[in-house]
Amino acid sequence: MDTGQEGRMRLPEESCTLVAVGAGPAGLCAAREAAACGVRTTVLDENDKGGGQLIKQIHRFFGSREHGAGKRGFEIALELAEDCANAGAEIRLNHRVLGFFEDGRLLVEGDFIYVLEAKAVVLATGALERSFPFPGWTLPGVMGAGAAQTLVNVHGVLPGKRAVLVGSGNVGLIVAYQLLQAGMEVVGILEVEDRVGGYEVHESRVRREGVPIYLRHRLLAVEGLEGVEAVLAKDLEKGTVKRFHADTLCLAVGMIPQAELASMRGCRMVFVRELGGFIPWHDGDMRTDRPGVYVAGDAAGVEEASIAMDEGRLAGVAALEDLGALSPNEARKRKEELKRRLNLLRGGAAGRPRAMAKERLAAGWRHR
């Protein structure tokens, strides 16, 4: 390897007006708003496809027309990416943001390493699957439910033959269903609580396929030598231990907002349990406490794709307002409409605690 000439290359620098980090629903929607307003906009995503979590979702989505409801996740992803590009945003896939520095610059790895500077940055980096240690958790065959979903829906590979899922929230229920769709057997879903976490309709669809849901069962351990052979769970009612024969264990125990970049940038981070953990503090318009830094979607609190879209749009509008690209009046109008929709989306029993948490944030003090 010759480290001679090109080794001396300086770090290239580039600038644009608005950057969205993450091409999930939040990032794409933020960028679309900005680009449609004539602002030079770039979207960066480390994936080779746009759409974030949606590209691996083959089920139809909740929401309303503005969110592509009734369509399948990947279909919504395609449409959002297309809209965003049509509006004039540049979507750079396979571009990973490595750092977001206090001076506002981003360090990006694309085909090469470069520095990107923007007047407004929308962080829409989504969330990560939560995991926790237990005996056997490092064995092959133990994975996040989302990882299993990527295997079956994106790569067309089955992680195994028989799966046990942990967690009966919507993600656990949907992934269980999708594993069945892909041809796997689902031995059961373990749930510590005494009721199912997700929506009844999702619960019902897995039960119809004959998948038992074990309430008040705690995952104890995974057994196996080279991989998962059995899953042990404790029946908290009876105090007994059950062994399930399976070669795959999928954890669907929640998501953690992925907000490292915000933290690196110096944004004030707050812990909000209802929203999944540490998130950058943000006001009702998705502004963080750092000028020119916005956050939207799961990175601002784990919720749903439809909410991510509208939060992205809101962040886009707020950025446009701050850039002077939208009149205050127009900005206010659009923000009001988006907030109205967000309120509706968070209107149900599942959404209300999140709505309250968001309100608390917006009312909260802005400076350290």
Partner 1 sequence: MKGDWEKVWEEARERPVALVDCRQEIPCNPCEEACRKGAIRVGEDLCSAPVYDPGRCDGCGRCVALCPGMAIFLLDRRGGDGQAEVTVPWEMCGEIVEGERIWAVDGKGKVLTEGKVVKIKWMGGRWPTRLVTIRIPEERALKVRGVRFRENSVGSSEEVDQEYDLPEDYPVCRCEDVSREEVLKFLKMGLRSLTALRRSSRVGLGYCQGIYCQEQLRKELGMVTRRSEEETGMFKVRPPVRPVKLGRLGGVNG
Partner 2 sequence: MAEIMSSEVVVIGGGVIGAATAYYLCREGAEVMIVEADDLASGASGACDGFLSLQTKALGAHLRLAMESAKLFPSLVEDLEVDIEYRPCGGLILATSQEQMKELRARAKALSAEGLEVEVLSASELKKILPEVGKEVKGGSYCPLDAQVNPISLTLGLAHKAQEMGATILRGCRVENIVVTNNRVREIHTSAGSIHSRRVVCAAGIGSNQIGKMIIVDVPVLPQRGQILVTEPQEPVLPHIVAGAEYLGTKGNLQALLPAEEEAMKLGLGFTAEQTKSGNFLLGSTREFVGFDSQTTPEAMNAIARNALRFLPWIKDLDVIRSFAGLRPCSPDGLPILGTVKGVKGFYLATGHSGDGICLAPITGKVLSELVLDGETSLDISPFSLYRFK
Interacting residues with partner 2 (CB under 8 A): 1-4, 7-11, 99, 101-102, 105, 107, 113, 115
Write a three-state SS string for 210-256.
CCCEEECEEEEEEECCCCCCEEEEEECCCCCEEEEECCEEEECCCEE
Q: Six-digit token pair at 140?
A: 């092959």
Is residue 24 at the binding interface for ligand FAD, with CB under 6 A as the rule? yes
Cβ(265)–Cβ(290) under 8 Å?
Answer: yes
Site for partner 1 in 288-327 (CB under 8 A): 304, 306
**Which residues in the 335-364 window bind ligand FAD by CB under 6 A?**
none
Residue 46 in the binding site for ligand FAD (CB under 6 A): yes
Q: Binding partner of residue 102 among partner 2, partner 1, ligand FAD, none, CB under 5 to 8 Å per kind?
A: partner 2
Under 8 Å CB-to-CB from 163, ≥6 apart: which residues?
148, 176, 179, 184, 185, 186, 187, 246, 247, 248, 249, 250
Contacts of 291 (CB under 8 A, 6+ apart): 322
Report helix, strand or coil for 34: helix
Interface positions, 110-169, toward partner 1 (CB under 8 A)? 111-113, 128, 130-138, 162
Q: Rounded CA gap, 127 and 276, in Å?
A: 9
**Closest by alpha carbon to 97, among 331, 274, 258, 232?**
258
Q: Which of 191, 203, 298, 310 is close enough to bind ligand FAD by CB under 6 A?
A: 298
- The residue to which tokens 């939060």 are assigned: 311
If the CB atoms of residues 171 and 222 are measured against ligand FAD, the closer one turns out to be 171
Contact residue for partner 1 among 202, 282, 335, 358 (CB under 8 A): 202
Classified as helix, coil or strand, 81 is: helix
Q: Does residue 61 belong to the site contacting ligand FAD (CB under 6 A)?
A: yes
22 binds ligand FAD (CB under 6 A): yes
Give the interface segment with partner 1, choosing from 5-13, 28-36, 323-331, 357-365 (CB under 8 A): 5-13
Residues that bind ligand FAD (CB under 6 A): 21-27, 44-47, 52-54, 57, 61-62, 96-97, 124-127, 146, 149, 171, 174-175, 258, 297-299, 303-306, 308
